[in-house]
Amino acid sequence: MGFAIAAPVGPIGILCLRHAVAGGFFAGLSSGLGAACADAFYAALAAGALTFVAATLARIVVPLHLAGGAVLIVLGLRTAFASLPHLSQGSVRARAGWRPFVTTFGLTIVNPATILSFGAVVAAAGFGRGGSDLRGAAALVVGVFIGSTLWWCVLSAFASAVRRAISPAVMRAIDVASGVALSAFGVWALAGA
């Protein structure tokens, strides 16, 4: 389930790809782990208290769209207009730190599509219908985290494998395309609010 929810290409996938191309496997993985932790968080919420979570999220979906859209637009503009550092070993280490993790965790947490995906999948799986299946809920959360992390490992490995063949001009084009795509996702999120 985690693999299937993480796999569609969206703003988080674009960020992860960009981090992996610019900073290598561990930078991409750090970015992806932020999304995997947010996925596991929502799986835990949805499995534990589906009815309460659905009612609460229905009240805050507009602010989530606005916050997520604004952050995506700013991030997209920063990405498109950022000057690229030389991809030295030092810059790879700097990019593989906590910032990619925090960025994607925050964006995934405020992404209503993630919230709704987990609500629908967990409801279909039968959680939240009275009674408590703690073992099943724990297995769901761990499975979502592992599946999501597996997707981000695959994506990061692919992007870091091709990064050595990418010239600075191509990397600049990737930055501009990533920035435009992130900003477009942000505009789309604002329009949906």
In DSSP notation, 112-158 reads: HHHHHHHHHHHHHHTTTSSS--HHHHHHHHHHHHHHHHHHHHHHHHH
Region 43-72: what's the mean pLDDT? 69
Distance between CA atoms of residues 63 and 190, nearest Å: 10
Query: C-alpha distances in angstroms, 90 versus 19, 87, 103, 166?
Result: 15, 8, 21, 18
pLDDT value at position 37? 92
Percentage of residues in the chain having pLDDT higher than 90: 7
pTM of the complete model? 0.67
C-beta of residue 100 within 8 angstroms of C-beta of residue 108 = no
Q: What does the alpha-carbon distance between residue 119 and residue 191 come to, in Å, rounded to a whole number?
A: 22
Average pLDDT, the chain: 74
- Range 33-59 average pLDDT: 74
Check whether 134 has a pLDDT greater than 80: no
Read off the pLDDT of each residue in 21-43 and give the average, rounded to a whole number.
88
Residue 21, pLDDT > 70, answer yes
Q: Which of 29, 27, 31, 36 is nearest to 5 (CA)?
A: 36
Supply the pLDDT for residue 91: 43
Domain residue ranges of the chain, discontinuous segments joined by +: 2-192
Confidence of residue 153 (pLDDT cuts 50, 70, 90): very high
Question: Mean of the pLDDT values across residues 44-51?
Answer: 66
d(CA 117, CA 183): 22
Percent of residues, the chain, with pLDDT higher than 70: 67
Q: Rounded to an integer, what distance in angstroms lies between the CA atom of residue 20 and that of residue 27? A: 5
